[in-house]
Copies of this chain bind each other. A is one copy, B any other.
């Protein structure tokens, strides 16, 4: 793709600024990959291709947690814990439900005030896009930019709306689920599907009055995880549940050790590279499928027929396969 005519001097310059770790360059690059304009898309592809070839890798950590678990507090405390060790940390927010424009920037930075002022950290809030496909593409490309900028850790935070966790897990090296302690018989309400993708379940607020509840919840989840089959990419003892406190800092160092253990084990056993390769393949297939569906939707006649066919199928007037066959015979 080097022969892409859009790889102008401007893009080469921007790539160099990002490689040099220039924060404004990185911010501009992410703005470019967030754009849906066709010429911007072509430039973004050229930029991402250029930078991806540098081969720099950060540890990509997917992080999910429902409102009220203290996610911002955790990210701030955990981020500062890492920057204090000299590590550079980028935080990307993924919120497909976000329809805020502009305001989100202020919002995200306000809720992580100390981390946002830390020179070793870079926080980029979620853009106001509502299409999951667009959010996925933007996030993957932003990760590549952050890696090229030399960050050691890229935290990809999601609010857990709809399929966003699965999506984030598909672009992360490891996935962390943050929970609040559950009291007694109270239903915890972990979203289905998440136990399967979590490498580490952290029960936050293991401090003060909630300490005992957090320890109990840790044991509950350790028990539930024990019932699941061991995955080939996990060393003994993983996935793991651990009580932490973003407030007091308890368990943050141990959680980071867990992540390091997982990372080293997976690198040593070939799972790290294998997973990244499989993820790339997955996103390529997804991008092709999405592109084909977009094409289907871009033609008004086809779009109407697709909608009519979907209605007929849902009303039971025709079968999904017969309707699809009829539609495809018109397309090709």
Complex CA–CA separation, A55 to B317 (angstroms): 9
| Interface contact A287-B229, CB-CB below 8 Å | no
Complex CA–CA separation, A53 to B314 (angstroms): 12
A265 → B minimal CB distance (Å): 18
| Interface contact A295-B332, CB-CB below 8 Å | yes
- Write the A268-289 contact mask toward B (1 if CB under 8 angstroms, else 0): 0000000001001101111111
| Interface contact A229-B192, CB-CB below 8 Å | yes
Is A111 close to B, CB under 8 A? Answer: no
A78 → B minimal CB distance (Å): 24
| Interface contact B187-A291, CB-CB below 8 Å | no
Complex CA–CA separation, A318 to B195 (angstroms): 32
- With A189-B230, A316-B55 already in contact, the answer to whether A48 and B321 are too (CB < 8 A) is yes
Q: Identify the stretch in A18-26, A93-101, A220-228 within 8 Å (CB) of chain B at 4 or more residues.
A: A220-228
A138 → B minimal CB distance (Å): 10
What residues of B have a CB within 8 angstroms of the CB of A144 in the complex?
Answer: 319
A141 → B minimal CB distance (Å): 7
Q: Which residue in chain B gives the minimum CB-CB distance to A195?
A: B195
A242 → B minimal CB distance (Å): 16
- Write the A205-242 contact mask toward B (1 if CB under 8 angstroms, else 0): 00000000000000011011011111100000000000
Q: Which residue in chain B gives the minimum CB-CB distance to A306?
A: B288
| Interface contact A227-B231, CB-CB below 8 Å | no
| Interface contact A319-B48, CB-CB below 8 Å | yes
Is A196 close to B, CB under 8 A? Answer: yes
Complex CA–CA separation, A285 to B289 (angstroms): 11
Complex CA–CA separation, A181 to B215 (angstroms): 28
Complex CA–CA separation, A53 to B315 (angstroms): 10
What residues of B have a CB within 8 angstroms of the CB of A292 in the complex?
Answer: 289, 292-293, 296, 328, 331
Complex CA–CA separation, A253 to B163 (angstroms): 37
What residues of B have a CB within 8 angstroms of the CB of A229 in the complex?
Answer: 187-192
What residues of B have a CB within 8 angstroms of the CB of A320 in the complex?
Answer: 140, 280, 283-284, 286-287
| Interface contact A310-B322, CB-CB below 8 Å | no
- With A189-B229, A319-B144 already in contact, the answer to whether A280 and B313 are too (CB < 8 A) is yes
| Interface contact A53-B317, CB-CB below 8 Å | yes
| Interface contact B280-A45, CB-CB below 8 Å | no
Is A52 close to B, CB under 8 A? Answer: yes
- With A221-B227, A328-B291 already in contact, the answer to whether A284 and B313 are too (CB < 8 A) is yes
- With A52-B318, A195-B195, A320-B140 already in contact, the answer to whether A326 and B293 are too (CB < 8 A) is no
Q: Can you sample 9 A-B contacts with CB below 8 Å?
A: A52-B318, A140-B319, A192-B195, A193-B193, A283-B313, A284-B314, A287-B320, A288-B306, A291-B327
Residues of A whose CB lies within 8 Å of any CB of B are: 1, 4, 41-42, 45-46, 48-49, 52-53, 55, 137, 140-141, 144, 187-193, 195-197, 220-221, 223-224, 226-231, 277, 280-281, 283-293, 295-296, 306, 309-310, 313-314, 316-328, 331-332
